[in-house]
Chains A and B, each alone.
Chain A
């Protein structure tokens, strides 16, 4: 296989090619290393690369394959990890000066699951500092003058630019789905508690989720199958049965899709909303039942309530290190810690009470539809790297802990990707993936960044 063919393989495609002897893990890692060498000076997706370690691991996995042993469904699949996931022996900075020399002595629970399934860690990708708002240096592969979004900036750019097969991100407000939308990827934030967060730098415990960044919905299902489940290092990880998400793909069929306007339409640029309406028409013409679902009035408070929780929890977490080294905190996260430090407990608890109330209203929406549809981001990727864009379309679902998925829906007038957001009821990732897979097929889009077009 050529380098272009190898780097463009999906995660499932790479695993199959290795399993079937069409390529080796070593050849795949070498092709990706050449791609990274070519593209990284411009894109700046990576904080720490471990090509040497990846090649060593590739040799081991090739030897196992030659003996007829496969570790799991990701045998030999190279991945990009946001630099807030602990990696044993590989530094984990959190995008900060505070932890610039931190080398964990253990893997994050999700990283352990990936390795046990046979995945290879190519390296650690840039994040906004501590997954908040101070931007990473990463550029958007679709246009380097634009942000790739954040906070999972590097993972999104690396996967979109074919420097890795798939990536891990995280989402507290919109940090997986927004960069997915900006970079033309599929991004999944599962139900709160579906994937354990042991060994991940927190931002706000009540809303932090592990996120998955892939180039198609099949890979999302594959990664979720590997990552979902209990976690001894995260009490919030649910001890529940994990459905067979790969089976969800074969059960994909036209869904009852609930278009939600309200605040989502209000915050969204006309061009993006027009593309969403066009997408609705396309899905309906191929058999989906699209209904309008009313946005519960309680939603109007969601983004504000979320800010109170975020500031309270982030400040509590960072206070000990901030107190010792305030000069090492960048201005955005520093302001959050300082402002959150003086919030009263009753405001935090009121925010948690309001969350309960709003969330209950949100649950009612799914009586009328299988999945809710909104934009995944309110605009294409903004020009410049100073900020990573607006997360208003994602914030409510992160607050509620509902599973949400970004799906490419086309390009803007200036050639940047646009994403739709599908949301399901809690624990119904099976339904979400089935709906997304059907929509992906119905829309028939395969977005390829300019650098990969022949």
Chain B
């Protein structure tokens, strides 16, 4: 089960070599999606700190998903990074 919840995110759309910022969920939509998904997964038996964690994550998700990236940017896998830098 993902954080889609009842909110269907729009598909990423690329133009000008960056991800379009307007094609992501708002922070509030992320928060609602997180709340819906965790409720389905865990019901009411959750940590008393869950609300705060979801608030933080909603902000984090909004920032992360609206971060402009070049089309060819790959994920950072730390173990793959080290050799080139260390040899340089």
> Which residue in B67, B77, B83 is a CB contact (below 8 Å) of A305?
B67
Query: Chain B nearest CB: distance from A178 CB in Å?
Result: 18
Q: Are B76 and A353 in contact (CB under 8 A)?
A: yes
Chain B positions within 8 Å of A336 at CB level: 53
Please give, as numbers and ranges, the residues of chain B lying within 8 Å of A353 by CB-CB distance.
69, 73-76
Q: Which one of A2-10, A120-128, A326-334, A372-380 contacts B?
A: A326-334
Are B73 and A192 neighbours in the complex by a CB distance under 8 Å?
A: no
Set of chain B residues within 8 Å of A401, measured between Cβ atoms = 78, 81
- A351 proximal to B (CB < 8 A): yes
For B64-88 the 0/1 string (1 means CB < 8 A from A) is: 1101011001111111011101100
Q: Say yes or no: is A383 at the interface (Cβ < 8 Å to chain B).
A: no
CA distance A238 to B54 in the complex (A): 35
Beta-carbon contacts under 8 Å, B30-62 to A: 34, 37-38, 41-42, 45-50, 52-54, 56-57, 59-62
Count of residues in A whose CB is under 8 Å from the partner chain: 45
| Interface 1/0 per residue, A290-310 and B, CB below 8 Å | 000000000001011111100
B6 interfacial by beta-carbon distance below 8 Å: no
Main secondary structure of the interface of A (DSSP, over half): helix
CB of B4 closer than 8 Å to a CB of A = yes
Question: How far is it, in angstroms, between the C-alpha of A340 and the C-alpha of B3 when the chains are bound?
Answer: 9
B45–A326 touching, CB < 8 Å = yes
Q: B37 contacts A236, CB within 8 Å?
A: no
Q: Who on chain B is nearest to A206 by CB?
A: B78
Contacting pair A342 B38 (CB below 8 A):
yes
Contacts of B46 in A (CB 8 A): 334-335, 338
Please report the C-alpha to C-alpha distance between residue A341 and residue B2 in the assembled complex, in whole angstroms. Answer: 8
* Distance from B13 Cβ to chain A, minimum over Cβ atoms (Å): 14
Which of A193, A311, A345 sits near B78, CB closer than 8 Å?
A193
- Is A354's CB under 8 angstroms from B69's CB? yes
* A350 contacts across to B, CB distance below 8 A: 64-65, 67, 69
In the assembled complex, the Cα of A303 lies from the Cα of B67 at a distance in Å of 13
Does chain A have a CB within 8 A of B63? yes
Q: How far is the CB of B56 from chain A (nearest CB, A)?
A: 6
Shortest distance in angstroms between B62's beta carbon and chain A's nearest beta carbon?
8
| Interface check B17, CB cutoff 8 A | no
Known contacts A344-B2, A344-B4; decide if A339 and B50 are in contact (CB<8 Å).
Answer: yes
Q: Does the CB pair A426–B82 fall under 8 Å?
A: yes
Question: How many residues on chain B are close to A (CB under 8 Å)?
Answer: 42
What are the residues of chain A within 8 A of B56 when measuring CB–CB?
Answer: 307
Nearest A residue (CB) for B46: A338
- Given contact pairs A236-B79, A401-B78, A335 touches B52 in the complex (Cβ within 8 A): yes
Alpha-carbon distance between A335 and B51 when the two chains are bound, in angstroms: 8
Task: Indicate if A352 sits at the interface (CB-CB under 8 A).
Answer: yes
A128 to chain B, nearest CB (A): 13
**What's the Cα separation between A351 and B73 when bound, in Å?**
11
With the chains together, A335 CA to B3 CA distance in Å?
A: 15
Q: Give min CB distance, A119 to chain B, whole Å.
A: 27
Q: Is there contact, CB below 8 Å, between B73 and A347?
A: no
Q: Which of B37, B48, B61, B85 contacts A331 (CB 8 A)?
A: B48
Q: A193-B78, A336-B53, A347-B64 are in contact. Are A341 and B59 (CB under 8 A)?
A: no
Q: Which residues of B contact A191 (CB under 8 A)?
A: 82
Stretch at the interface among A275-283, A355-363, A410-418: A355-363
- What are 17 sample pairs from A and B whose C-beta atoms fall under 8 A apart? A193-B78, A206-B78, A305-B63, A307-B57, A308-B61, A308-B64, A331-B47, A331-B48, A334-B47, A341-B41, A342-B1, A342-B34, A345-B2, A347-B3, A350-B67, A354-B67, A357-B69
* Additional pairs, 18, CB under 8 Å, beyond known A305-B60, A326-B45: A191-B82, A192-B82, A236-B82, A240-B83, A304-B62, A331-B48, A332-B47, A334-B50, A339-B50, A339-B54, A343-B3, A343-B57, A344-B3, A347-B64, A354-B67, A359-B76, A426-B85, A427-B82
Sort A-B residue pairs by CB-CB distance and give the 10 closest, nearest first.
Answer: A352-B75, A304-B63, A307-B60, A335-B49, A342-B37, A334-B47, A335-B53, A335-B47, A356-B76, A355-B76
